[in-house]
Amino acid sequence: MKRAIFILSQKGGSGKTTFSRALLDHLRQGHGLAVAAFDADGAVGQLVQYYGSRDAGGQLDQPQNPMTGVGVFDLRRSEQRGTVVDALDLGADTLLFDFPAGCLEDLGRVVGQAGVGALLDEYEREGFRVTVAVVVSNVQSSAGNVLAAMEVFRDRVDYVTVKNLFYGKPEDFLFFDGFTGADGRLYGGQALGALSRYGGKVMHMPALPGREYALCDMYCLGFSEALSHPALRRSQRGAIAHFLREFGTAVDGAAPFFGYAPEAVDHAFPAGRTGP
């Protein structure tokens, strides 16, 4: 079955675009999949800054080819929202969208004012199953983002909740998992319970060390591209390779939700190479 991956969070700061970057890298570079990728945050989008195709002078190509770079549109602008369904005409088996924070209301307006149901109808008509990936931090409001997405998409999609381990260990996401306070009362846990009812998955996104993250940001590098960049030291390239291996293992645990079967595809990457 063909896959569309909607990566979202109702509030910024959870690491949504970091996950989008690493996932696109894993699918294209690690598994050699043909992925049509889109940054729906318009001119301020970050995914296109790191994974967009560039000309010989290092400038982003205009326009971008979503199959080799990252298509750009602004979901907040009514005349551009249709890109979410127009992307079906590209003929790709895997579509990836990095949506801006607070996107749920705008997604309901992609097909006029017909709501998210009409959007999903278009995808189902073309044989696509949608995966909604919600990236969360360990704060209470972030766990609420999972429930907010489920209120909109209900049982018509698959769900993956991504714990961003930049914010702590897997067990530190108390409001998502639920915990018993010192008063003996149970707090949180509604999001995990709902995810279980919908047959969703939890995955852990490893934390990339801050220095290496900053270097990728400075040079606008994709993660696998950074492995051979001359401005990075061998130790720094090694840290990024380790991040990619850990990330790949985590994603492989939910591979069908991201449009591939890990046992059926040979890894071209990550294999630990760190360049000269």
Dump pLDDT digits (tens) for 159-176. Answer: 999 999 999 999 999 999
Whether the CB-CB separation of 158 and 173 falls below 8 Å is answered with no
What burial class does residue 235 get, using C-beta atoms within 10 Å of its C-beta: 0-12 exposed, 13-18 middle, 19+ buried?
A: exposed
Residue of 21, 22, 228, 9 whose CA lies nearest to 134: 9
- The pLDDT score that the predictor gives to residue 275 is 41
Domain positions in the chain are: 2-209+244-261
- The pLDDT score that the predictor gives to residue 11 is 76
The H or E element spanning position 152 is helix 140-153
Alpha carbon 108 to its chain centroid, in Å, reads 20
Whether the CB-CB separation of 31 and 260 falls below 8 Å is answered with yes
Mean pLDDT of 239-268: 86
E strand residue ranges, the chain: 2-8, 35-39, 71-72, 94-98, 128-136, 158-164, 179-180, 186-187, 201-205
Tell me: the pLDDT tens digits for 215-246?
A: 999 999 999 999 999 999 999 999 999 999 99
Whether the CB-CB separation of 14 and 135 falls below 8 Å is answered with yes
Q: How confident is the model at residue 13 (pLDDT cuts 50, 70, 90)?
A: confident
Q: Is the pLDDT of residue 87 over 90?
A: yes
- What is the Cα–Cα distance from 19 to 27, expressed in whole angstroms? 12
Q: How confident is the model at residue 274 (pLDDT cuts 50, 70, 90)?
A: very low
> Domain 2-209+244-261 belongs to what topology?
Rossmann fold (3.40.50)
Whether the CB-CB separation of 8 and 103 falls below 8 Å is answered with yes
Q: What is the mean pLDDT of the chain?
A: 92
Q: Is the pLDDT of residue 265 over 80?
A: no
Q: Is the pLDDT of residue 271 over 50?
A: no
**In which residue are the tokens 């996932």 written?**
23
Please list, in sequence order, all residues whose beta carbon lies within 8 angstroms of the beta carbon of residue 71, skipping any fewer than 6 positions away: 36, 37, 38, 39, 63, 64, 65, 83, 87
Pairing of strands 2-8, 94-98: parallel
Tell me: the pLDDT tens digits for 89-110?
A: 999 999 999 999 989 999 999 9
Phi, psi of 40 (to 5 degrees): -95, 20
Phi, psi of 159 (to 5 degrees): -120, 140
| Residue 153 DSSP symbol | H
- What is the Cα–Cα distance from 215 to 56, expressed in whole angstroms? 21
| DSSP codes, 78-146 | TTTTTHHHHGGGG--SEEEEEPPTT-HHHHTTSSTTS-HHHHHHHHHHTTEEEEEEEEE-SSHHHHHHH
